[in-house]
Amino acid sequence: MSNKLATLKFEQLKEIKWRELIIGVSMPMIGLLVFLALWHSVAPNIKTSLGEFPQPKQVFAQWGNLVDEYQSEQDRATQFYERQEKRNAELLAKDPAAKVDTREFSGRPTFFDKIKTSLITVLSGFLVATIIAIPIGIMIGLSQTLYSAINPLIQLFKPVSPLAWLPLVTIVVSAVYVSDSPAFSKSYIISLFTVSLCSLWPTMINTAVGVAGVSKDLINVSRVLRLGWFTHVVKIVLPSAIPMMFTGLRISLGIAWMVLIAAEMLSQNPGLGKFVWDEFQNGSSESLSRICLAILVIGLIGFLLDRAILMLQTYVNWDKSAVVR
Amino acid sequence: MSQIHLELTKVGIEFPTPKGPFCALRDVDLKIKKGEFVSLIGHSGCGKSTVLNIVAGLYQATTGGVVLNGREVNEPGPERAVVFQNHSLLPWLTAYENVELGVKRVFKGKKTKAEMRDWIEHNLELVHMTHAMHKRPDEISGGMKQRVGIARALAMEPQVLLMDEPFGALDALTRAHLQDSLMEIQNELGNTVIMITHDVDEAVLLSDRIVMMTNGPAATVGEILEVTLPRPRNRLELADNAGYNGYRSAVLRFLHEKQKKVEPIAAKRADKHREQDTPAQAKSVA
């Protein structure tokens, strides 16, 4: 009897599991399909100066074109290096003391090079923002006095649009960053700092709130043990502030990625922002499809960056059972 | 054994409130001998915890002061270890690491790494926690957390152990178990202990003296009851002991007759009508 009950329960559980799985997989698929269907049916009705608005299939076809472009650039690069090597070898064969020079291949950056540039720029900008924001956040979280001093500045600069910062950053970087053989291009530095300036605020504020919100009991423990400042921060303050800190970091990275596209458009940093801008200026029949594709890629990368931060949080957080979403 | 170890003299404290200073304690005098086990008992809100926090150095007395071994107490320190009511373990550290935090602070430069490890393990053994040494607080039960809290305090080799309702949040069986452990440990180490409690049985069972506090505001020491039951004490034997029951009823009488907190509702209403604006007066010291 009880055995029968148990099997019944097991069967039911299995069924519930299945149902959950089906819902978990099918619902997002249905959502996606409905979106694509709407897009497919509405697009031909939008007539633009560059022709009809592209349908999904045209947009996805561009993916193939971009991969082909990448392939041909790769081939050109290989050929270039082969030619160069051959030429140098011939020169050396004629005269062993001949001066040979090796040059870098300077082809057009392809879509995938641009994704790479964008990722590098956003991550370095985000890193600079984090390095500035977390220590300041900890300081103002620990000291009410410092908080009162710095909070007005945060509130003042937090809402400023990246487009407002950019001219200023451009002019300052152009004036300060002067070098004959710059290690980084100016456009990269400009985009980086614009991203940092816009994305450091959420991390700073959330860190401060997390640090200020450490439980009074734990602070009393620290006082009774008479922990030094450093131990207090490392052992008590930081672990309790981690969830808030990561909330800030996630918002910051989201902002950084959004700001980056705008910054790249204006500073001409060869990333996805410039890709979109160039296609806009180019105005060929393929441009709209390519812009649409870029938008999808930008969205997908933004999503993956957010997931990456979540994974980092799960890794860093002491509470492995905490639900992160 | 008999010299005065810890002395509270005319301790009073006022907290600023929007309506002006609120006097929580007034003229608390208490002399505690080395190795003595003293309980503070009284109704909720009578300032027991405040007394403990002043001794711990977490609060500053407005008037009077606390002297430990001839030195004034004015900041927290590991020689006055606190066992907090809600254990206050750091949730991101294991039991071992929680104890280690205090040990490292107190014995830095005095013990080698191996000695420290032995010492931490010894203290966890004292509270019977060796089996769950490397578990985090969320993986162990409430009673076990409190054991770790006690181990953390003991491991600092405090001159005075301050316990703020250490067993208040535990079920009766676990509480009895921990009380027995505490008596055993105190018998072995001879620490001076100040413990806050709500529990009359606990106070009589564990204490050498029971300090009964009057109701706030401006609470102070009401009566002090000397408990001369022989040690080691056994809860089962004491249950029928006339002396034990005498102490119990003395404490109960103080709490429920002399310092009655809850008035019958009808009387309260009548009172309210009679003296609408007069604030509740502190009851006089018995």
pLDDT at B262: 62
The pLDDT of B257-278, averaged and rounded, is: 64
The residue out of B157, B174, B208 marking a domain boundary is: B157
**Same domain membership, residue B210 and residue B108:** no
Residues 6+ apart with CB under 8 A from B58: A220, A223, A224, B76, B82
The answer for residues whose C-beta is within 8 angstroms of residue A220's C-beta and 6 or more apart is B58, B76, B82, B84, B88
Say if residue B213's pLDDT is above 70.
Answer: yes
Whole-complex ipTM: 0.81
Domains of chain A: 111-316 (1.10.3720.10)
What per-residue confidence (pLDDT) applies to B168? 83
pLDDT for B90-131, tens place per residue? 999 999 999 999 899 888 888 899 999 999 999 998 888 889
Half-sphere exposure of A237 (CA within 13 A, CB side): 23
Is the preceding omega at residue B158 within 30 degrees of 0, hence cis? no
Distance of alpha carbon A223 from alpha carbon B241, whole angstroms: 43
Cβ pair A239:B90 closer than 8 A: yes
b/e per residue A120-131 (b: at least 16 CB within 10 A): ebbbbbbebbbe
Span B36-62, average pLDDT: 89
pLDDT at B271: 64
- Token reading at A179: 């070098």
**B149 and B204 share a domain?**
no
Between these two residues, B2 and B148, which has the higher pLDDT value? Answer: B148
**A224 contacts B77? CB cut-off 8 A:** yes
Do B191 and B64 have their domain in common? yes
The whole-number pLDDT of residue B26 equals: 86
Last residue of a domain, one of B135, B157, B179: B157
CB contacts, 8 Å: A235 with chain B:
90, 93, 101
Strands (DSSP E) contained in chain B are 4-17, 20-33, 37-41, 63-68, 71-72, 80-83, 160-164, 192-197, 209-213, 221-226
CA–CA separation, A264 and A173 (whole Å): 15
- Inter-helix orientation angle A238-267/A111-142, to 10°: 140
Residues B168 and B50 in one domain: yes
Q: Residue A227 is nearest to which of B58, B105, B156, comparing CB atoms? A: B105
Residue A213 to chain B, least CA–CA distance (Å): 15
Q: In what order do the strands lie in the sheet with B221-226?
A: B80-83, B160-164, B192-197, B37-41, B209-213, B221-226
Q: Which of A115-124, B19-28, B265-274 has the highest mean pLDDT?
A: A115-124
CA distance B68 to chain A (A): 15
Q: What is the CB neighbour count within 10 angstroms for residue B147?
A: 26
Are B49 and B95 members of one domain? no
* Arithmetic mean of pLDDT over chain B: 85
Pair B130, B189 in one domain: no
Residues of B with CB below 8 A from A217's CB?
84, 86, 88
Could you tell me if B142 and B183 lie in one domain?
Answer: no
B134 and B224 part of one domain: no
Distance between CA atoms of residues A158 and A133, nearest Å: 12
Give the model confidence (pLDDT) of B214-264 as tens digits: 887 888 888 888 888 888 888 888 888 888 889 999 999 888 887 776 666
Which residue in chain B is spatially nearest to A231 when comparing CA positions?
Answer: B101
Q: What is the dihedral of CA B103, B108, B114, B115, to 10 degrees?
A: -70
- Supply the range of the domain harboring residue B102: 80-157
What end-to-end distance do the CA atoms of chain B give, in Å?
A: 29
Of B157, B183, B217, the domain-final residue: B157
- Beta strands (DSSP E) in B103-170 are 160-164
In Å, how far from its chain's centre is CA A36? 25
Q: Same domain, yes or no, for B107 and B71?
A: no
Query: Based on the domain organization, do B46 and B152 belong to the same domain?
Result: no
Domain count across chain B: 2
The interaxial angle of helices A56-94 and A111-142, nearest 10 deg, is 100
CB neighbourhood size of A28 (10 A): 10
Q: Does position B1 have pLDDT exceeding 60, yes or no?
A: no
In chain A, where does DSSP find H-type helix? 2-42, 56-94, 111-142, 144-157, 162-176, 186-212, 216-225, 229-231, 238-267, 272-282, 287-316
Out of A226, A239, A321, the one facing B76 most closely (by C-beta) is: A226
Residue carrying the six token digits 């907090």 = B84
**A321/B138 Cβ within 8 A:** yes
pLDDT at B270: 66
3-state secondary structure of A213: coil
pLDDT at B280 over 50: no
Return averaged pLDDT per consecutive 10 residues of chain A, 325 residues in all.
64 82 88 94 88 90 90 90 87 81 81 92 96 95 94 93 91 87 86 94 95 92 90 92 94 95 91 92 88 94 94 85 68
On the 0-12 / 13-18 / 19+ scale of CB atoms within 10 A, B105 is: middle
Of A220, A224, A236, the CB nearest to B90: A236
In chain B, the residue whose alpha carbon lies closest to the alpha carbon of A232 is B101
Pairwise CB contact (< 8 Å): A226 & B102: no
Q: Is the pLDDT of residue B282 over 50?
A: no
Inform me whether the pLDDT recorded for B274 exceeds 80. Answer: no
Is the pLDDT score of B83 beyond 50? yes
Buried b / exposed e along B200-226 (16+ C-beta atoms within 10 A): bbbbbbbbbbbbbbbbbbbbbbbbebe
For residues B21 and B95, state if they share a domain: no
Instruction: Kindly state whether residues B170 and B276 are assigned to the same domain.
Output: yes
- CATH code, domain with B228: 3.40.50.300
Confidence of residue B281 (pLDDT cuts 50, 70, 90): very low
The confidence score (pLDDT) of residue B283 equals 43
* pTM for this entry: 0.80
Nearest 5°: phi and psi at A317? Answer: -65, 140
